[in-house]
Amino acid sequence: MASAIGVVGSVITIFSFLQDMFPEPDNPSAKFAFKIGLDGAGDPPLSNAAGNIPDVRCWNEQGGLLGIITNDNKCENGADLCETSVSDVVQQPTYALFTGNDDAICISWASVTFPGGQTYANTIGNWAQSCDDAYGRDDNWYYSDIYVPTESGPDETVFCAWVDKNGDIDTTGIQLHRSEYAKDAGTKDLDYYCNNDPVLRFTETPDPSDVVYWTRKRDLFSRQPSASRAKHTASGLCGAGKSVGPSFVSLEERMFCYMPAKTVYPFCEDVEEGGACWSEDDEKVVAKGSAGRIAAVPEMKFDKVLHWGEQ
């Protein structure tokens, strides 16, 4: 049983999916599947929900393009599993962009099977409806009469989200960051999902081909990652005898691990009496106050930073 963070109205909830709802893994490729709205749903009734399967582009966690699949295959209305595949993908395709073709289609649910077999799903239609209702996002959606199971309650009838290319529907592309919807990612409020483009984006750009991803940079020393997730700690990294890699900032812990010396420095804002500390503004260790000793400040140069997690 796979689970995913979803939404019903304005309530964040957990949906559960049987494993047979996902395409089988096929390494090296990323396999995508869609559930399509059923004509006749709603009043007035949904019509012409069937359409060309979206073109799919996918990227890795650092925004590197992994591949694209384009075709004119059709997904019928009410289709329970309409599949497509991006070949020659060996890395995790955590970002995806679904772009419309000339025949608009209304998507209720989208999933991906990673090359390694991990599965993720998203009730796209519900997010379109909830974000539109709460923030007036004008995301095109309608009733779909497609049922999806929830973790602790009855099956939910989900909405579907329209995507098109030729102008009949405004939405031309839908972007998802898959890991944001994993059950163990931790639920956030509706604003987080609806108003952060890397997480979820409904675009009206003609023929979109790019995703918006969390800011990430690289540095000359190697990489100096910065993370906001609690499980990524600077003290844990520096305290591990066999840890190897770049220096690291933990925004949650408010500590900097300088890997060459395995030394941990607190954020300067948290230092009252002075001393060597990490300056987030300067992105280096500095001497603060009269107690700061120049000898205690290691020389380092980070001209770029890789950020993990929400910004």
* CA distances in angstroms from 90 to 2, 27, 127, 162, listed in the order given: 22, 7, 29, 30
Residue 164: what pLDDT? Answer: 96
Other residues' Cβ atoms within 10 Å of the Cβ of residue 299: 6
What is the residue extent of each domain of the chain? 2-203, 225-308
Task: Say if residues 98 and 55 touch (Cβ distance below 8 Å).
Answer: yes
Residue 186: what pLDDT? Answer: 75
Closest by Cα among 204, 225, 200 to 212: 200
- Enumerate the H helices of 75-156 as residue ranges: 124-135
Per-residue pLDDT of the chain (311 residues; tens, 9 = 90+): 577 888 888 788 888 776 777 888 888 999 999 999 999 999 889 999 999 999 999 999 989 999 999 988 999 999 999 999 999 999 999 999 999 999 999 999 999 999 999 999 999 999 999 999 998 877 799 999 999 887 777 788 999 999 999 888 999 999 999 989 988 777 788 998 998 899 999 999 999 999 988 864 333 233 445 555 556 788 888 888 767 677 888 888 899 988 877 889 999 999 887 788 998 888 888 888 764 455 567 777 665 555 554 44
Other residues' Cβ atoms within 10 Å of the Cβ of residue 76: 13
pTM across the whole model: 0.69
